[in-house]
Amino acid sequence: MRITEDLIRQTLSAQIDPNTGTDYVSAKNVRQISVTADGDISVRIVLGYPANSQLVPLSEQIRSALAALPGAGKVDVQMTFEVVAHVVQRGVKVMPNVKNIIAVASGKGGVGKSTTAANLALALAAEGAAVGLLDADIYGPSQPMMMGISGQPETTDGKTMEPMENHGIQVSSIGFMIDPDEPMVWRGPLVQQALQQLLTQTNWRNLDYLIIDMPPGTGDVQLTLSQKVPVTGAVIVTTPQDVALLDARKGLRMFEKVDIPILGVVENMSMHICSNCGHAEHIFGQGGAEKMCADFGVDFLGSLPLNLQIREQADAGKPTVVAEPDGQVAAIYKAIARKVAVRVAQKAKDMSLKFPTITVQNT
């Protein structure tokens, strides 16, 4: 049996990427196919999401399928990934140095949103993406502590500032510029202006993803975000209890109304596992976030336990994904981050930066 490009493409169309649930041909991941007269096969696959931990097993999946073809010789599978900019809400332009902005939000405070945002950023970076983290909680900035960063950002021109950095993440926060014990007694317009300045006057360096740690609620910052910031999608964080879910539903509806897609919902503190006897107990209720996802038709990204170490590690400036990268909880965060990245990759690509601005003048 003679090996042809059509046969190779047909074989690849039967191979499903377990992360996307789509075959490599339909997902337009196949960039190059070549075959020699001796049956040696070479294919190049480019995934749309960061996937350092996935490249080897996925390459082996494809290599095995192609090697099983009658008459196949040597099989070479080159697999990489490329993160591109995707469409945002209408009337807002994508930032030239930030491909995708992901808002991590909650309707209610105290549900672990900031911890989730930090670990989400770290998980994406662990998969090979260039990631930034913007602390948009002007009244209660917590990312400097969680990311283990102190000091003030540098400026080279007196107008813009360099992002602070730790654990491979570029970070900007109002917390770097104020005394930690000093309350931010600001009215709404000042808060909105501060958010805009943190976003646009930070010299982000070619980010694949910028994670925005939002303040709780649906107020001024959320309104500014929806009207002026090019957001690719939002992640909602909640706990299983009814009070938190009530506010999470409001936050979800707010993003829907301003044309920002929901990438999914994360449930924090889903259960407590006793460190002494191993008994699992759903202290804050059970299945609330999954039901909310079913009601709104959005993805349930995953659930995290009520775990003492998650809190201790974040307080110590080394969130779980870097403190215990091979641990069970870190694996949950990484799986959630992969789902978020896949959901972003499945959105339409933004082409606005590909074309020059055309101006028509009467002469």
Count of Cβ atoms closer than 10 Å to residue 93 Cβ? 10
Q: Which fold has domain 98-345?
A: Rossmann fold (3.40.50)
Distance CA 320, CA 14 (A): 37
180's CB contacts (< 8 A; 6+ apart) are none
The encoded tokens of residue 265 equal 């919902």
CA–CA distance, 129 with 211 (Å, rounded to integer): 12
Residue 107 marked as a ligand binder: yes
Model pLDDT, residue 361: 57
Answer left, alpha or beta for residue 85, where phi above 0 means left and psi between -120 and 50 means alpha: beta
User: Among 137, 141, 134, which Cα is nearest to 95's?
Assistant: 134
pTM of the model: 0.90
pLDDT of residue 359: 52
Q: What local confidence, expressed as pLDDT, does residue 245 receive?
A: 79
Q: Which fold has domain 5-81?
A: GMP Synthetase; Chain A, domain 3 (3.30.300)
**How far from chain centre, in Å, is Cα 102?**
6
Answer yes or no: is 111 a known binding residue: yes
Strand, helix or coil at 22?
A: strand
Beta strands in 84-200 (DSSP E): 98-105, 131-135, 164-166, 169-173
pLDDT in tens, the chain (363 residues): 688 899 999 999 999 999 999 999 999 999 999 999 888 999 999 999 999 999 999 999 999 999 999 988 899 999 999 999 998 888 888 888 999 999 998 876 778 889 999 999 999 999 999 999 999 887 778 898 999 998 889 888 888 999 999 999 999 998 888 777 666 666 667 777 888 888 889 999 999 999 999 887 766 777 777 778 899 999 999 888 777 778 788 888 888 888 889 999 999 877 776 667 766 666 666 777 888 888 889 999 999 888 888 888 998 999 999 999 999 999 999 999 999 999 999 988 876 655 555 555 555
How confident is the model at residue 195, as a pLDDT?
84
Taking the C-alpha atoms of residue 102 and residue 168, their distance in angstroms, rounded to an integer, is 18
Measured CA to CA, the distance from residue 251 to residue 238 in angstroms comes to: 10
Q: State residue 277's pLDDT score.
A: 73
Residue 340 assigned ligand-binding role: no
Phi and psi (nearest 5°) for 317? Answer: 80, 15
- Please give the pLDDT value at position 287: 73
Which SS3 state, helix, strand or coil, does residue 273 take? strand
- In terms of Cα–Cα distance, which of 211, 321, 333 is closest to 266? 333
Return d(Cα 109, Cα 218) in angstroms, integer. 11
Q: Is 344 annotated as a binding residue?
A: no
**175 marked ligand binding residue:** no
Is 112 marked as binding a ligand?
yes
CA 124 – CA 346 distance, rounded (Å): 16
Residue-level pLDDT at 110? 75
Token pair listed for 363: 């002469």
Q: What is the pLDDT of residue 183?
A: 66
**Residue 251 is assigned to a ligand binding site:** no
Domain ranges of the chain: 5-81, 98-345
Is-contact 83 50, C-beta < 8 A? yes
Confirm or deny that 285 is annotated as ligand binding: no
